[in-house]
Amino acid sequence: MVSRRSLLNNLMMAAAGIAVSPNLVFAAGDKSKRIPWKNWSGSQVCYPEFRKAPASVEELQTLITSAKGKIRPVGAGHSFMPLVPTDDTILSLSRLSGVVSHDASKNQATIWAGTRLGDIGEPLAATGQALLNMPDIDEQTLAGALGTATHGTGENIGCMSSFVEGLQLVTASGDILECSRTQNPDIFHAARVNLGALGVVTQVTMQNTPKYRLKRETTWLPIEDILEQSESLASNNRNYEFYYIPFTGMGFTDVQNVTTEPVSATDKIDQNDGAEDLKLARDMLSWSPKLREFVLGTYMKTISKEVTIANSWQNYASERNVRFNEMEYHLPRENMVAAFKEIRATVENNFPEVFFPFEIRYIQGDDIWLSPFYGRETCSIAVHRFFQEDYKPLFAAVEPILQKFGGRPHWGKLNTMNAEQLKQHYPKWNEFDQVRRQLDPQGKFMNAYLETLFA
């Protein structure tokens, strides 16, 4: 029996005749006596004077009121936009982690905001609960995911911020505010997606559901078939998304549904191995895009359906070890197909070096002031570039297409939209800024980027 990866490698070797290893190196960093902070992909760098990780809310209050200069909260550093960088104080909530309490009658739980998403599932399951949905990366912190409107997929399921029933916020003055739809409601509507600009969220009460098991089915298909079936698959499955692999004509659909079937799994491709294989194919066959499409397309047609039945949190999120930079925009659902086709043509006509998949997800609209899903049903389109390669030309070509079709950028993903452009997309922009000024009149939680949005 020949393994899938062996088959792909044999096909590439036969087509190229020789393997080519690119000589990729990091650019030299700025010399500084301070230890640099970098985000997950290495695209954002700063040299903070102080790094703080309070072990209690009381310690956090003291830190905020006594700190000089700016304070920026940092979660897992998984945002690609410059939301964190400051040369003053970076604040981590890593020591404020875990489930604080739960209410079985309401299926709600209060969770420390510094908890990593990958560490929430098991403790919640012990209480009989589970998150309604999750994104596909398990390293993000709860506060970071909520602050940037991070989302999973499912046409009847909103972003993670839409599950928030209450939150605790420590303001620039050190005061503790409890917020919900009935208690400090304006602050609640602003703080559910807050960019770290209102203060520091310390605890979050999440609306959950009884714990459940998911059956995940991954099917490889020609992209034309995926586009034809996409609306139906989105409407007939709890969770649905699809991926397109550039220069192959192929992609795969992922559907998930609640099941009582026992835990099991078929053989499947590891996402990290898959990304490395695509990069190798790009490197070996870059001299002939048509041959590359033939080899990869031939290989992908041999991949059988993958089925995984597992607890919900285990099926949603996974560890990502192959790093990248990402641009993701959220479009009106009806514009997805036209935008996707134009992006595909642009990439495949001009960027033969691209190998990361495009990712398309469905998200329910909401009423959160700075949510990219505010007031409309949405499809998101994400494009990626390997972290050691220059993402700027690709993103500069794709972003105007996403904007033309009414896209709003993911707050944590790379984009060039300015305050005036963003205001056009957010009817509650001024209300958010009013709350921000009320809570932080001196701009203690601002940084250079946020000041361009809220001058």
202 phi/psi in degrees, rounded to 5: -110, -35
At 283 the pLDDT is: 80
Dihedral over alpha carbons 343, 41, 87, 399 (to 10 degrees): 0
Bridge partners of residue 45, in order along the sequence:
38
**CA 356 – CA 386 distance, rounded (Å):** 7
CATH number (domain holding residue 359):
3.40.462.10
From first to last of its 455 residues, the chain has per-residue pLDDT tens of 456 656 666 665 555 553 333 333 333 344 458 999 999 999 999 999 999 999 999 999 999 999 999 999 999 999 999 999 999 999 999 999 999 999 999 999 999 999 999 999 999 999 999 999 999 988 999 999 999 999 999 999 999 999 999 999 999 999 999 999 999 999 999 999 999 999 999 999 999 999 999 999 999 999 999 999 999 999 999 999 999 999 999 999 999 999 999 999 998 777 777 778 888 878 887 777 788 888 888 888 888 899 999 999 999 987 778 899 999 999 999 999 999 999 999 999 999 999 999 999 999 999 999 999 999 999 999 999 999 999 999 999 999 999 999 999 999 999 999 999 999 999 999 999 999 999 999 999 999 999 999 97
Closest C-alpha among 79, 116, 78, 82 to residue 97 = 116
Same domain, 150 and 217: no
Same domain, 318 and 386: yes
Q: Is residue 451 in some structural domain?
A: no
Domain extent at residue 195: 99-210
Same domain, 140 and 198: yes
| Tokens coding 426 | 């957010």
CATH number (domain holding residue 126):
3.30.465.10
Q: Helices (H) and strands (E) in the chain — how many of each?
A: 14, 21
H/E element holding 215? strand 213-222
Number of folded domains that form the chain: 2
At 320 the pLDDT is: 74
Same domain, 162 and 228: no
Same domain, 202 and 312: no
Domain boundary among 398, 414, 430: 414
At 29 the pLDDT is: 40
Bridge partners of residue 37, in order along the sequence:
46
Bridge partners of residue 409, in order along the sequence:
329
Other C-beta atoms closer than 10 Å to the C-beta of 36 total 12
- Record the pTM: 0.90
At 263 the pLDDT is: 96
Same domain, 399 and 291: yes
**CA 207 – CA 328 distance, rounded (Å):** 26
